[in-house]
Structure 1
Amino acid sequence: MAGAGAVVVLAALAVVGTRTLSDYRSRPLAPDVAQPVEAYAVQLVTGSCLEALPADGEVGRVGVVPCADPHAAQVVAQYAFDAAAAWPGQDGAHQRVTRACVLSDEEVAAGVRLVTWAPSEAGWSRGDRTGLCLAVPTGPVTGSFVDGTATPAGESPTPAG
């Protein structure tokens, strides 16, 4: 009988541990982190600066750095799908996120491109309903696209007007 009780306790601890880990993995980051950190894509928010842009495909973990450090991309907007929405398909999800993404004329002229991240079907089934718009410059930058202070790494920023 004691063995069965131990199994129940272990099972309960496993459920609590899994739920705690899941909550931690989905807790949003600050818009500009104080130090480099590895984070899950679902933790990113508008303002998050990425050390490197991951290869195409499903994104798990990414390196997030302070925006004052050189970085290869930045989350510049988010698209929130309705929590009760039906899965729109991968193409539909990307199309909806893309409509939320806009660059300034100056950013386009500087060669900045947009990359969209939409939930995958597996992520959707786990409750991920956020799409991200990332500004990707032609080379590393420091500063932020969100507040207009992004400049090529190594150059001094000019005041935002």
Structure 2
Amino acid sequence: MSQTPPPAGPPGGQPPYPGSPQQPGPPQYGQQPQYGGQPSYGGPPQQPGQYGMPPMAPIQGMPQQPYQGPPQGTNGFAVASLIFGIISGVLLSVIFGIVALRQIKQRNQGGRGLAIAGLVISGCWVLLFGVGLIIAIATDDEPSRDASGQVTETANVRPEKLKVGDCVEKVDTEGLIRNMKLVPCSGPNGGEVYAVFELPAGKWPGESAVSTVAESGCSDRWDALKRKVEEDSNIYYLQPVEASWSMGDRGVTCLVVPK
């Protein structure tokens, strides 16, 4: 059996038939081999000509604080608070100071230190008034008296501490009387206490009603004494006011006062 040799291929290594597959040759130098379908590494591809970091998304739950510029002038209430604090206008100073602190925060104004200073000074005034009141009460002791109860030295007392037989330097017939000056009855004086009595308890009856009862009570008690005075005199009385009535003051003090 004979074998027929395959036809010889054309010279130059070309395939014998057109369209036959080419054998892949080695890659040419200076070029990178291409691998299809492989993902790239290092994040998503960037467009040519774009550099830098991607924009940061805001963090959820963190409030964005608006920018506030420099203070817009000094708050007027802060200045007023300091001024009234200096001149002992405590009530106005406190009110203006509180209003100023609120407005300064809302309006981005200056003057916070002035408002605080006004409040501090007002607090100092309140403390000073309190200390003065305590000292006044502590020093308002019973006056010195002899064995018979007569005052032997000059002393300042509140009207409710007056007793029968006490003499005062003078009687102020106008305004609210807070203190009276006791003097020995053996010397010159401006009036003598001859009776002290209490009004009935109850609601405040009114100034006119209190005055009527006090005047009638003092006149009746003077007539009952059947006392004669060396010089022409008048009857004067101290009565409670509405404010002291609410605190339990019902006392009426009767004095005979030289004209």
Shared fold (TM-score greater than 0.5)?
yes
Deviation at 1:66, TM superposition (A): 1.3
Structure 2 CA distance for aligned equivalents of residues 100 and 28 of structure 1: 27
Correspondence 1:131 to 2:249:
no
Q: Which amino acid aligns with 1:51?
A: E
Deviation at 1:67, TM superposition (A): 1.0
Deviations 1:19-75 (CA, angstroms, capped at 9, x unpaired)? xx49x86x8766522211011111112111001112322210111011112101111
**1:93 maps to what in 2?**
210
**1:116 maps to what in 2?**
237
Within-5 A mapping of 1:1-161: 21=137, 32-82=150-200, 84-101=201-218, 102-103=222-223, 104=226, 106-107=228-229, 110-138=231-259
Unaligned runs of 5+ in 2: 1-129
Larger RCO (CA under 8 A, 6+ residues apart): 1
The DSSP-based 3-state class of the residue aligned with 2:249 is coil
Instruction: Flag the 1:53–1:39 CA change in 2: closer, same or farther, 3 A.
Output: same
Give % identity.
25
Larger Rg: 2
**1:159 maps to what in 2?**
none
The DSSP-based 3-state class of the residue aligned with 1:56 is coil
Q: Which amino acid aligns with 2:202?
A: A
Scaled by the length of structure 1, the TM-score of the pair is: 0.62
Q: Which amino acid aligns with 2:216?
A: R
Q: Which amino acid aligns with 2:163?
A: V
Unaligned runs of 5+ in 1: 1-13, 139-161
Deviations 1:93-142 (CA, angstroms, capped at 9, x unpaired)? 111111222254734x842110111101111112211011110013xxxx
Scaled by the length of structure 2, the TM-score of the pair is: 0.40
> RMSD in angstroms over aligned alpha carbons?
2.8
Structure 2 CA distance for aligned equivalents of residues 105 and 74 of structure 1: 13
Instruction: Flag the 1:117–1:106 CA change in 2: closer, same or farther, 3 A.
Output: same
Alignment length (residue pairs): 118
